């Protein structure tokens, strides 16, 4: 149980294009989903907190117009990197916190490696 999927796992795009990453909780409903960015050999940096049916809360320094987050249902959140640039290349990971059971726990997706050329 508590499986989170992400799609795509890898994406390569040209500079200036937009990329959408999907995060799904497969066997549970998620009140809250989180989006992280991770650079090589570094920790997870929280970008934003996404609650179903409401606007995402962005961390300081994260451009909300650049990283659009939509949490349309209790099982799906999407992150769209708009007008991507090479500096946006990174490993993006989502996590989901279940509605039922322990609300403390976060379950992570497998991550999406974005490369912007």
Partner 1 sequence: GENVEQHPSTLSVQEGDSAVIKCTYSDSASNYFPWYKQELGKRPQLIIDIRSNVGEKKDQRIAVTLNKTAKHFSLHITETQPEDSAVYFCAASNGNTGNQFYFGTGTSLTVIP
Can you give the binding site for partner 1, defined by CB under 8 A?
4, 32, 34, 41-44, 46, 49, 51, 57, 93, 95, 97, 103-111, 113
92 contacts 36 by C-beta, under 8 angstroms: yes
- Cβ proximity to partner 1: between 81 and 98 the closer is 98
**CA-wise closest residue to 98 among 34, 11, 25, 12:** 25
3-state secondary structure of 34: strand
Judged by beta carbon, residue 16 or residue 110, the one nearer partner 1 is: 110
Tokens 């992400």 correspond to: 6
Pick 82 or 99: Cβ nearer partner 1: 99
Shortest Å distance, C-beta 93 to partner 1: 7
Shortest separation between residue 103's beta carbon and partner 1, angstroms: 6
Q: CB 48 → partner 1: shortest distance, Å?
A: 10
Question: In the numeric block, which tokens belong to residue 41?
Answer: 């050999």
Tokens of 76: 């799906």
36: which residues sit within 8 A by CB, 6+ positions away? 44, 45, 46, 47, 92, 93, 94, 95
CB of 16 to partner 1, least distance (A): 27
Nearer to partner 1, 14 or 53 (CB): 53
């Amino acid at each position: 149980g508590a499986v989170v999927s992400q799609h795509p796992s890898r994406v390569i795009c040209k500079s200036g294009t937009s990329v959408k990453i999907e995060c799904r909780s497969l066997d549970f409903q998620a009140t809250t989903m989180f989006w992280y960015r991770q650079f090589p050999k570094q920790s997870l940096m929280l970008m934003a907190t996404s609650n179903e049916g409401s606007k995402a809360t962005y961390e300081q320094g994260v451009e909300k117009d650049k990283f659009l987050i939509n949490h349309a249902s209790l099982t799906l959140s999407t992150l769209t990197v708009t007008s991507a640039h090479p500096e946006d290349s990174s490993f993006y990971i989502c996590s989901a916190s279940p509605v039922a059971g322990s609300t403390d726990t976060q379950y992570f997706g497998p991550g999406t490696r974005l490369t912007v050329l």
